Structure 1
Amino acid sequence: MQYVNLGQSGLKVSRLCLGCMTYGEPGRGTHGWTMDEASSRPLLRQAIELGINFFDTANGYSDGTSEEIVGRALKDFGVREDFVLATKVYTPMRKAPNSGGLSRKAIMQSIDDSLRRLGTDYVDLYQIHRWDYHTPIEETLEALHDIVKAGKVRYIGASSMYAWQFAKALYTAERHGWTRFISMQNHLNLLNREEEREMLPLCAAEGVGVIPWSPLARGRLTRDWNASSERQQNDAFGRTLYQQTEEADRRVIEAVAQVAERRGTTRAQVAMAWLAQKSQVTAPIIGASKVEHLNDAVAALTLSLDASEREELEAAYIPHSVVGFQ
């Protein structure tokens, strides 16, 4: 496993981050396809054995049970200080005013709730899950700065927003001397490359690490166009991400299959290698419900695609509507 600094910080993370939305009590929250604790633990252990030290979850995943499962597993499988544990704030956890969003009140409550569920004294990377249109960014950033200074959070990151919003947040933090975001968790893969236009250049210019979610487009890049999976059938949010450009997306998926066949490798490795080789990308966030998902992701780090292969994979892409964070 390779380890690199996240952005311009001194925090070293594995070149893969294990996304833990897959692990949570089924039937809790909006993710009906998740794996319970007994099924999740072998995969978390395997990730650690493969050298992954970076784990990403969120308060809203499976009503907080993802944080509970991940927290217990990391406590049992290693030394807390050896792991980089990331979670998020924004999702309402109760049907009540001030539950959710990025107000000072919500952030102060959410970090304490996450720490309790995770069973730890601190989070390495605390990320705002979405932009809060109802709270001034100054209020959000000062609250995040305060929980860093209180020792509850080591670093802060952001996820899924417009580039102008992220630029505003970076500028505002610098102007006030508040803690600065070191990472951007955004939606980037061969079926959605809109982040290449503004967000990736912004992150490169500002020294911000990029940790993309859904690197395999919810698995669509790993199988034939007409094939499906239990998650795809039950993933309502995923359906909103890939339904406007089906003909072009089908050609991209076919190109992945052709490159994989010539290379004698899997489609997952090809799609992941394309993403991992992008100069702005620090660590793709992978989902794993099977051991082979982890093995494919690790193998992709040493699969070097040449310029003609990258061009072949990118040729059919057409502009997509911005989805996932409005």
Structure 2
Amino acid sequence: MSAEGTQVEYRQLGKSGLKLGAMSFGSDKWAPWVINENDAIPLLKAAWDRGVTTIDTANVYSNGESERIVGRFIKQYNIPRDKLIIATKCFGLVASEPGIRSSITPGLDKLKEYVNQSGLSRAAIFNAVNASLERLQTSYIDLLQIHRFDSKTPAEETMKALHDLVESGKVRYIGASSMRCWQFAMLNEVAEKKGWTKFVSMQDEYSLLYREEEREMHQYCNYNGIGIIPWAPLAAGDLARPLGTSTTRKDISKGSPFENKLKASDELIIKRVEELSKKKGCTMGQIALAWVQTKVSSPIVGCSSVKRLDEAIVKGVALTPEEIQYLEEPYEPRPLRGHA
């Protein structure tokens, strides 16, 4: 892959020196709107050919099948491991069947076969990492992120386990995802006092339609040189297409806990994104991602096709300060969400 052929822009992740471009996928047995192996592997190859060198996944995505697909992709195309950044997560329970979503199936963690298979205890973290390494067919994870905050496990136990994994070489860097700022800061403070490995990244929800993390988390991260790699920068696709557009994910999520209900202010923002995309001759997704990239390290973008992947590449799309203000102006604060 030559420098001339690279289509994405590379960005540093905080002070760690990692380079990011990202996408995610899974199995339609886990959720009907994600893509299966036959479509995912060619899409991963297309992303690699376009300069995307980071794959963001998690142990719970499709109950491990997402990680297995990543491992098969690396082997199938003989991708040099040191040229690829693999980010995965631990905390959630990986069920034995692809169709079970542990986040909406209470009581699974009480079953004997799932003892020490979720949460952030030392045993659970070690079990999760070893299982992820096996599924990914790799000897190390570039970025291990704790998926949520675990109020049942002492912070010292969690941070020592993460530090020991870094010391062992199984994990290169550690990060976190979707929690209260005080929780994230407290965990980092424990690591600081003990001389253990600290977090280099925060993956939280952030888009033109959800900006609550600006209040505290992003200020804390920016002050401490911690990279921000938000999920849902396109608000589950709402910012990537005109109002009223029907999609598989949107149709299936109606009436479920995962439905994105739009307010009048959200609809106005979407209309302004569409307006600017027409003005600049680019896609709506490129406008929404260009806005995100004025704020953070690099967003996590999930794509279901090569067309969507190309639409997400924002190289050469820039927003003026006036355009940024125009997009932000209608926003109205909303309740915090996405935390454990």
TM-score normalised by L of structure 1: 0.92
From 305, 308, 313, the counterpart of 2:319: 305
Report the counterpart of residue 126 of structure 1 in structure 2: 144
Report the counterpart of residue 267 of structure 2 in structure 1: 250
CA deviation profile, 1:17-51 (whole Å, cap 9, x unmatched): 22x2x2x3321x3x232211111111100110011
Q: Are residues 1:294 and 2:309 paired?
A: yes
Deviation at 1:131, TM superposition (A): 0.6
Cα distance, 1:283–1:236 mapped onto 2, change above 3 Å: farther
Q: Is the 8 A contact 2:238 2:270 kept in 1?
A: yes
Query: Aligned residues, how many?
Result: 315
Q: Are residues 1:62 and 2:74 paired?
A: no
CA distance in 1, matches of 2:32, 2:282: 31
Q: Which amino acid aligns with 1:25?
A: S
Q: Which runs of 5+ in 1 are unaligned?
A: none
What SS does the corresponding residue of 1:88 show, helix, strand or coil? strand
Report the counterpart of residue 86 of structure 1 in structure 2: 87
Q: Which amino acid aligns with 1:218?
A: A
Deviation at 1:98, TM superposition (A): 2.0
CA distance in 1, matches of 2:255, 2:122: 28
CA distance in 1, matches of 2:255, 2:294: 27
What SS does the corresponding residue of 1:248 show, helix, strand or coil? helix
Q: Are residues 1:317 and 2:328 paired?
A: no
Moved >6 Å (runs of 4+): none
Q: Which amino acid aligns with 1:84?
A: I
Q: Which amino acid aligns with 2:179?
A: M
Report the counterpart of residue 203 of structure 2 in structure 1: 185
What's the Cα RMSD here? 1.6
Cα distance, 1:169–1:238 mapped onto 2, change above 3 Å: farther
Q: Is the 8 A contact 1:25 1:34 kept in 2?
A: yes
Report the counterpart of residue 122 of structure 2 in structure 1: 104
Deviation at 1:148, TM superposition (A): 1.0
CA deviation profile, 1:239-274 (whole Å, cap 9, x unmatched): 54633x511111111111111122222111111111
Report the counterpart of residue 116 of structure 1 in structure 2: 134
Bigger shift: 221-230 or 129-138? 221-230
What SS does the corresponding residue of 1:116 show, helix, strand or coil? helix
Q: Which amino acid aligns with 1:249?
A: D
Q: Is the 8 A contact 1:288 1:294 kept in 2?
A: yes
Q: Are residues 1:25 and 2:27 paired?
A: yes
Q: Could you tell me the percent identity over the aligned residues? A: 43
What SS does the corresponding residue of 1:220 show, helix, strand or coil? coil
CA distance in 1, matches of 2:326, 2:9: 27
Q: Which amino acid aligns with 1:312?
A: Y
Q: Is the 8 A contact 2:253 2:259 kept in 1?
A: no
Q: Are residues 1:155 and 2:155 paired?
A: no
TM-score normalised by L of structure 2: 0.89
CA distance in 1, matches of 2:90, 2:165: 13
Deviation at 1:113, TM superposition (A): 0.4
